[in-house]
Amino acid sequence: MVTATNPLQCNETVPVARFESPIRYLASPGARLAEAPSIPPGEFEQHYFGLQAETGGKIVRALSLSGFYLDRAGRLLEQAASTERTCPMGEKTRRRRAEYLFNVFVKFYAGEVQPYISRLHQVASPLVESVKQLQKGQKVAIPPAFESYYAATLDPASEQGPWHGFNAALQRHSRAWQSVLKPCGMMPGGPSSSQ
């Protein structure tokens, strides 16, 4: 799923309540309309205006791009692990290649990528959950166009969406790093990870 919005940036702050509160509000009118004939326009507009920010699009774009690149890196790491050339005889044969990969892991993945991925997960989770509640709370038949859009963006059960792709790629990427570093005894926090 590609959006016209730039992805969430590393240093960008995301006020989760800015989108979570309006979505939760909009999820509840069905129940409230049964009690009252209408919602005050000003109240509705205030919440609707909160959704006009690009935050949701930035998060969806970041999930899509992060999932793509994590999956790609995971595939490359899996290829490296399958050749068994990094440490062909385990810890005893640590090579420069293994040391280099470990440094890449520590400096770039643990130092830069992982904090961004963690933050992205923290801001995307409430968005995914809020939209799920909005979709589930509808009292009318959901139009097929929205169902397709929802499946392609934020439906946590949809394997075609960026949320699922992001989480699957993150798991694959983590397993791939383990498959490369573990035979060399270089897993962070492990007994032989000190240099």
Domain ranges of the chain: 16-53, 55-84+102-177
Lowest mean pLDDT among 54-58, 75-79, 83-87, 190-194: 190-194
Predicted pLDDT of residue 194: 42
Question: Is the model's pLDDT at 174 over the cut of 50?
Answer: yes
Q: Per-residue pLDDT averaged across 135-151, rounded?
A: 83
- Distance CA(35)–CA(126), nearest Å, equals 28
Mean pLDDT of the residues in the chain = 81
Closest to 66 (Cα-Cα) out of 165, 178, 161: 165
Predicted pLDDT of residue 162: 94
How do residues 1-52 score in pLDDT, each as one tens digit?
455 678 888 888 777 777 777 777 777 765 555 555 567 778 777 777 777 6
Closest to 66 (Cα-Cα) out of 176, 164, 169: 169
Alpha carbon 168 to chain centroid, angstroms: 9
User: How many Å is the Cα radius of gyration of the chain?
Assistant: 22
- Distance CA(71)–CA(79), nearest Å, equals 12
